[in-house]
């Protein structure tokens, strides 16, 4: 199970998300232990079959994303938001930079 780190009280949040009321919370509590797949899309690239056959351990593939851009976060394949990669001790972490509102756009 992944460890979730929540922002500190002093962290600035652009749009605070309110807590659901008790009735709404009770109606979804039974789902709280259902596992979901969280994925991060770092980027894509296209290579030729020749380039594919030349790949070896240590080869580097350049992707189509600037180094200062956030990555796409999906939950069970559906767009969820944007994340920034960070390091937590000796592992990678993902800081939520933006949550996509499914009712906009």
Distance CA 88, CA 95 (A): 11
Strands (E), the chain: 38-41, 71-75, 78-88, 91-99
Q: What is the pLDDT of residues 6-34, one digit of tens each?
A: 555 334 444 445 666 777 777 788 888 99
- Count CB-CB contacts under 10 A for residue 98: 14
Could you state, in order of their start, the residue ranges of all structural domains in the chain?
Answer: 34-55+63-99
Distance CA 59, CA 74 (A): 27
Q: What is the pTM of this model?
A: 0.61
**Spelled out in words, what is the top-level CATH class assigned to the domain 34-55+63-99?**
mainly beta
Paired tokens of 85:
């990669």
Q: What is the pLDDT of residues 47-87, one digit of tens each?
A: 999 999 999 999 999 988 888 889 999 999 999 999 998 88
């Amino acid at each position: 199970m992944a460890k979730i780190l929540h922002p500190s009280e002093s962290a600035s949040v652009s749009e605070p998300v309110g807590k659901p009321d008790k009735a709404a919370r009770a109606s979804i509590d039974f789902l709280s232990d259902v596992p979901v797949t969280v994925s991060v899309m770092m980027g894509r690239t296209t290579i030729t079959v020749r380039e594919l056959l030349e790949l070896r351990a240590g080869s580097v593939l350049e992707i189509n994303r600037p180094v200062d851009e956030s990555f796409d976060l999906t939950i069970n394949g559906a767009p969820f938001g944007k994340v920034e990669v960070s390091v937590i001790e000796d592992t990678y972490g993902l800081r939520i930079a933006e949550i996509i509102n499914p009712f906009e756009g």
